[in-house]
Amino acid sequence: MSFHNQNILPAMRNLKQLEQLLESHFEYIVLLEVHLSNLKSIKAEANRHGKKIIIHADLIQGLKTDDYAAEFLCNDICPAGIISTRANMILKAKSKGIIAIQRMFLLDTIALEKSYSLLERTKPDFIEILPGVIPQLISEVHARTGIPIISGGLIRTEEHVQEALNAGARAVTTSDAKLWAAFS
């Protein structure tokens, strides 16, 4: 499974960026920090432009990350993918054939070990590692889990993107429009 050789997954932080991304060559777009009431219209616009949306469920304003929210996203919005730290979101997405991306924070060794335990249970399609500027951990997590890695968070330069990709990340999520342009 891949994002059709798309190394950058542009992460839309607000509706102003939507038009830019709809006109871009990117097939996959990540939704961050949008309001729940806008999801259906964003999905409709994305469909009209041949784009696939990946929803970061934990950051959708007005949406709890409980089982009802998981059902709503999977059944009513039907995105290409869901990103979440929550096991219920990942398990529901997988059960519905939606790309499941487990978000993992690299805070310390204890958090890393707890994340490995969670990953054994959820078995997501991808792991999004944050911060994404630690290349050696990208390689380590992939080697330990066998799950493809997406790198995100604190990615500020083209060098950061290239280092993450060189370490084995399948893609890099970023809300930095300059990096979208550099890798378009």
How high is the mean pLDDT in each 10-residue block of the chain (184 residues)?
Answer: 89 94 97 96 98 98 96 98 98 98 96 96 98 95 97 97 97 97 92
The pLDDT of residue 1: 61
171: left (phi over 0), alpha (psi -120 to 50) or beta: beta
User: To the nearest 10°, the Cα dihedral for 158, 161, 166, 171?
Assistant: -140
d(CA 181, CA 153): 18
pLDDT at residue 25 in the model: 96
What local confidence, expressed as pLDDT, does residue 143 receive? 97
